[in-house]
A = this chain, B = another copy of it.
Amino acid sequence: MARVVVEVMPKPEILDPQGKAVTGALARLGFDGIAVRQGKRFELEVDGELTAERIDAIHQAAETLLANTVIETFVVHVADEFVAEEASEGASA
């Protein structure tokens, strides 16, 4: 069982209405001077070993399904830990 993370973000030249809304909400809550862009995070549990072909397939999957490459960029990372474990270790800073 291998773990892979795909991170998808709107391209810099693309407007990000969700991020703008969050930025505005943060300012209204008193958190000033923070500009936010919002994207997606996918945590993948992959059966079997993580061969080069398997990573290529995940790349292809990210390109066809997880990201819309017209307006989004993505990166694929092999991961040791997922957010839930990191958070429970208190390594959240």
Enumerate chain A interface residues (CB-CB to B < 8 A): 7-9, 11-12, 19, 22, 25-26, 29, 31-48, 55, 57-61, 64-66, 73-76, 82-84, 86-88, 91-93
Within 8 Å CB of A41, what residues of B?
Answer: 7-9, 38-41
Q: CA A62 – CA B11 in complex, angstroms?
A: 23
Q: CA A75 – CA B5 in complex, angstroms?
A: 14
* One of B12, B29, B73, B87 near A73 (C-beta < 8 A): B87
Q: Does B65 lie within 8 Å of A25, measured CB to CB?
A: yes
Q: CA A41 – CA B83 in complex, angstroms?
A: 11
Within 8 Å CB of A44, what residues of B?
Answer: 34-36
